[in-house]
């Protein structure tokens, strides 16, 4: 199963450097904290529509492979993050199987829980980079995060209803 927003997310083209955008847009795109929390600060009830979750082979995550360790399987989670029921963000998380040890095994149990609720409660979370991308007039970003030093990729596409626009 897929969703049109996830097709656009996968098609994101990334800028080589931070683009010249409105300061308010850069504030959203370069946010280091939880996007879930930021959406809630807008006075919205945040929910997740789960599109896909499970193990996949490397060919299903080809775009992320150059930024992650080579493995036989990856945990893939694709969602829509909604504010008061309206989709504001499409998200794609790719987790190498070797990351799913110890407390990070919880990444397989997220279901309809926003990823930010888990990631940003960990004192062991670091971010290697944020890359800003664009596709079909929409903006997005991708980050390599590390939990206890173990990598995962998070890609987010801001949908037309989101306050980024």
Residues 55-74 have pLDDT tens digits of 999 999 999 999 999 999 99
**Beta carbons within 10 angstroms of residue 89's beta carbon:** 26
Cβ neighbors of 59 (< 8 A, separation 6 or more) are none
How much is the pLDDT for 123?
Answer: 66
How much is the pLDDT for 27?
Answer: 94
Mark the ranges of the chain whose per-residue pLDDT is less than 70.
Answer: 1, 122-123
How much is the pLDDT for 109?
Answer: 87
């Amino acid at each position: 199963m897929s969703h049109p927003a996830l097709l656009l997310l996968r098609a994101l083209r990334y800028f080589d450097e931070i683009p010249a955008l409105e300061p308010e847009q850069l504030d959203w795109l370069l946010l280091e904290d939880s996007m879930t929390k930021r959406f809630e600060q807008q006075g919205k009830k945040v929910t997740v529509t789960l599109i896909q979750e499970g193990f996949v082979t490397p060919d299903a995550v080809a775009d992320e492979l150059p930024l992650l360790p080579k493995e036989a399987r990856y945990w893939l989670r694709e969602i829509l993050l909604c504010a008061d029921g309206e989709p504001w963000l499409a998200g794609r998380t790719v987790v190498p199987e070797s990351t799913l040890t110890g407390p990070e095994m919880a990444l397989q149990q997220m279901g309809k829980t926003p990823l930010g609720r888990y990631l940003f409660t960990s004192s062991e979370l670091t971010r290697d980079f944020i890359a800003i991308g664009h596709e079909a007039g929409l903006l997005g970003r991708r980050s390599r995060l590390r939990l206890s030093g173990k990598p995962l990729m998070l890609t987010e596409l801001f949908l037309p209803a989101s306050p980024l626009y």
